[in-house]
Amino acid sequence: MLNDTTWLLDLDGVSLVRVERLGDGTRRVHLATADERAQACPACGVFATRVKGSALTRPRELPYGESGLEFRRHKRRWWCREPGCPRRSFTERIPQIPAGARITMRLRGAAGRRIRDAASTVIQAARDLHLSWPTVMDAFRAVAPEVTGAPLPEGRVLGIDETRRGRPRWERDPATGKWRLRRDRWHTGFADALGTGGLLGQVEGRTVADAFAWFTATPLTWRKSTEYMAIDMSTAYRAAVRTGLPQATVVDDHLHVVQLADKILSMVRRRTTAGMRGRRGRASDPERNARRRLLRNREDLTDEQFATMWNTQRQERRHQPRDQARRPQHVRLPCILSSRSLRVTGAGRGQDRFRGSYDSRAASA
């Protein structure tokens, strides 16, 4: 029986019989089969005319409201009167609720799409939809081929980077008795760096062979459309790109370049302190107090902060003996300028501007 409440539920193949509220406030919805094709025998396809009995199932559906709904589906068992049919009886089944299913196909599809399209984790989707982890993972595997099997979008600029996933798994080779790596903890991801393609692929491992295998699995016309490849200064990825995408220009990722410059700056700071003071840095040393400030962007510093840091370092150099001031290891100020010039916002700020003392009042005037 179709009514307005059935249209509100909008679940194909069933009709709403009645709704009752339990003592704890839960709403129980009773459903009946509304699809005539459910009377067809799944083995021979002949429509049955004799009812054998009834069955009651409790399928789970998408949450409705804060308290949700509890479903009870009333379906019938039919006798198959076809003489040559090996199946003597069957229960009603519809596409949304197949035989033996405990959740609707709409709920299963929503669980898989939540992971595939909304970047949700499996455990979070299971908690939100009140499902188990294996059920949600199976739903994701069912909808994932719609994306993995689709053609790759063309991208002029691609990015490659590794990510850590779980723990490594080892197994013993039965022939040699040696242990071999069965599952690597490192995975390599390929992404569209400029477009909206997102993650294009992911392979296990981070060696040259692993990255090159993914390149060879892509169409040749797609590889030729790639003009730039952003990497994280990895020699393995550089070799794989040179072999798999020889026409692409390799670009070191800006984040890793600046990170390397900051690392060198910290090394120079510690080395300069050891050469100038003959010991490790202490809390009373001005360069150690400014170790965090040295790594910040120039635009993130106030004029007073920059003046204090800059003038203090110049005074330290001015009071050093002449032979120590000329040593190559005392290059902290040029190193700071070189590191900050790698920033996009700091490009174009040369060393000539900071040869003398810095006056914050003059800069703000």
What is the per-residue pLDDT across 227-268, written as a single tens digit (0 to 9) for each? 999 998 889 999 999 999 999 999 988 888 888 888 888 888
Q: Is-above-0.85 flag for pTM?
A: no
Which pLDDT value is given to residue 320? 54
**pLDDT over 60 (residue 341):** no
**pLDDT over 50 (residue 345):** no
What's the average model confidence in pLDDT over 41-62?
91
Q: Whole-angstrom Cα distance, residue 34 to residue 57?
A: 16
155 in Cβ contact with 193 (< 8 Å): yes
What's the average model confidence in pLDDT over 289-318?
71
What's the average model confidence in pLDDT over 339-359?
42
**pLDDT over 50 (residue 351):** no
Which pLDDT value is given to residue 126? 93
CA distances from 291 to 95, 140, 302, 308, 319 (A): 65, 47, 16, 13, 21
- Express each pLDDT in 75-112 by its tens digit: 999 999 888 898 889 999 888 888 888 999 999 999 99
Strand partners, 20: 28
Residue type, 274: A
- Express each pLDDT in 148-177 by its tens digit: 888 888 888 999 998 888 888 888 888 888
Which pLDDT value is given to residue 331? 45
pLDDT band at 21 (very low <50, low <70, confident <90, very high): confident
Which pLDDT value is given to residue 41? 92
Give alpha helix (H) positions in the chain: 4-9, 105-116, 122-129, 133-143, 145-148, 208-217, 220-224, 235-244, 254-277, 286-289, 291-294, 303-318, 322-325, 332-341, 360-364
Which pLDDT value is given to residue 342? 55
**pLDDT over 60 (residue 311):** yes
**pLDDT over 80 (residue 54):** yes
The residue that leads in pLDDT, 214 or 354, is 214
**pLDDT over 80 (residue 53):** yes
The residue that leads in pLDDT, 121 or 24, is 121
| Chain mean pLDDT for the chain | 81
Q: Whole-angstrom Cα distance, residue 207 to residue 195?
A: 26
Q: What is the percent of the chain where pLDDT is above 90?
A: 29
